[in-house]
Amino acid sequence: MSETTHATPGASDAEADATEGRVYNVAGGDWDELVAGDDERGPNEQIVVNMGPQHPSTHGVLRLVLTLEGETVTDARASIGYLHTGIEKNMEYRTWTQGTTFVTRADYLMPLFNEAAYCMAVERLLGIEDKLPERATLIRVLMLELNRIGSHLGGIGPFGLELGATTIFLQGVRMRENVLDLLELITGLRMNHAFIRPGGVAQDLPAGGIEAIRDFLRKAPAWVHDLRKLIDANPVFKARTQGIAYLDLEGCMALGVTGPMLRATGLPWDLRKSQPYLGYETYEFDVPTQDTCDTYGRYQVRMAEIDESLRIIEQVLDRLADRAGVPNDPYLIQDKKIGWPARLSLGPDGLGPSPEHIAHIMGQSMEALIHHFKLVTEGFRVPAGQAYVPIESAKGELGCHVVSDGGTRPYRAHLRDPSFHHLQAVSVLCEGGNLADVIPAIASIDPVIGGVDR
């Protein structure tokens, strides 16, 4: 990179003098400046290429500005912000419970992790972490591990397609569709569920839900085997991934990289083990690792994590079966000033409240009507303070930082999304490699731009 000072448009002389190295403004108006600046890089012929933001291999509206010398990438920079939706800002104008409908749309491939991190941060401010019903905790773990499987398959399947292997995509999507069917059965939606709420979950498992999940557990090992048989020893896949996009432990630590990318360097760092939450310390599962530091190792870690998630789900189902005889086993905190909606029971259409619930709040108890109205429209108050709760999502450490001023809405809510941090590694992964290797490099990060831009 040139050591010449280039001030950004509108910069003062003092700012220009204080700037070392090249400063890029990639807001969309820097193209001519960027191309003209390449003359300073030497006599070699160079090409500046835009990859994205509407490229199918960028996993969303991600723009990569690549400088090429022949087929070699000499400079790679990620340009983000094309999918900015104002999720965090919008949450400041909604109640604490309504916030779940926004965070679930951040990383839309793992919505339940967003909901869990946010709700656990709110619960920490409320001081009710140890008051959650056991059934609510079990259902949360169940949903998170199902979502982990779906998220990994949502990365591995398209990864195969991007390398030209249509069958890998179809096998990955086949299993993922079965996961989404379960999520739809339990929450009513395939994604953007708003199912995890402060104090528990929105509703109990439906009739036949446990049986459907057990049927999935019986079929899933064969689907995983079929996918591995297509990929693991595939000479083309291995040639495109082994030794590609190298990032060692030191690089991961410097860039804040977590999750499967970190565990592919040999470090078994998993928040479910190192900083347990939701009772994960009581489950038997392993933390898969590889020591290859490359794209192939990251794929192997994700596939192994699918197997471990299946183990955890089976243990959850056994614990739920043991609680079958518990009368009125609650799935939401019993504090009626927090649990929302209060005493909700669905009607025969599965959408609106039951006639009994309507009769109670509309004709039997004026206090119940007033309380229901205030809880739904105004929401509950959260003590002033701030809290940060990290969890181990499918992509790495996902944290939520919430700040309360004592009101019924968040003063500030911020997601620490792993995809945002991992995109810092694009230049390290791609520079010095071939242009064709950029695609598996991005796929090995498995970014979702909804979580990056928020």
Q: What is the CATH number of the domain that holds 119?
A: 1.10.645.10
State whether 196 and 51 are in the same domain: no
CB of 260 closer than 8 Å to CB of 305? yes
Residues near 370 by beta carbon (within 8 Å), at least 6 away in sequence: none
At residue 7, the pLDDT reads: 43
- What does the block give as tokens for 171? 């096998």
State whether 336 and 392 are in the same domain: yes
At residue 24, the pLDDT reads: 53
CA dihedral 62, 65, 70, 74 (to 10 degrees): -110
State the amino acid at position 131 in one-letter form.
K
Please return the burial class of 270, using the count of CB atoms within 10 Å of its CB with bins 0-12, 13-18 and 19+. buried
State whether 49 and 93 are in the same domain: no
Distances, alpha carbon 25 to alpha carbons 8, 65, 142, 333, 397, in Å: 7, 12, 45, 49, 29
- Is the dihedral angle over the CA atoms 223, 291, 77, 65 positive or is it negative? negative
Cα gap 107→105, rounded to integer Å = 6
> Backbone dihedral region of 16: left (phi > 0), alpha (psi from -120 to 50 degrees) or beta?
alpha
State whether 445 and 304 are in the same domain: yes
Cα gap 85→90, rounded to integer Å = 9
At residue 12, the pLDDT reads: 53
Cα gap 131→123, rounded to integer Å = 9
At residue 5, the pLDDT reads: 41
At residue 34, the pLDDT reads: 61
State whether 417 and 335 are in the same domain: yes
Cα gap 68→244, rounded to integer Å = 17
pLDDT beneath 70: ranges in the chain: 1-44, 56-57, 340-353
Nearest to 286 by CA among 318, 267, 319, 311: 311
Phi, psi of 260 (to 5 degrees): -55, -35
At residue 102, the pLDDT reads: 92
Range of the domain at 208: 87-340+379-453
State whether 109 and 153 are in the same domain: yes
Domain count, the chain: 2
Q: Of 47, 79, 111, at which residue does a domain stop?
A: 79
State the amino acid at position 448 in one-letter form.
V
State whether 182 and 96 are in the same domain: yes
Instruction: Establish how many alpha carbons lie within 13 A of residue 402's alpha carbon, considering only the half-sphere containing its beta carbon.
Output: 33
At residue 32, the pLDDT reads: 65
State the amino acid at position 452 in one-letter form.
V
Phi, psi of 75 (to 5 degrees): -150, 130
Q: Of 79, 105, 126, at which residue does a domain stop?
A: 79
State whether 74 and 122 are in the same domain: no
> Which residue reads 């001081």 in tokens?
127
Instruction: Establish how many alpha carbons lie within 13 A of residue 94's alpha carbon, considering only the half-sphere containing its beta carbon.
Output: 15
Nearest to 267 by CA among 293, 285, 246, 236: 293
- Is the dihedral angle over the CA atoms 405, 408, 414, 417 positive or is it negative? positive
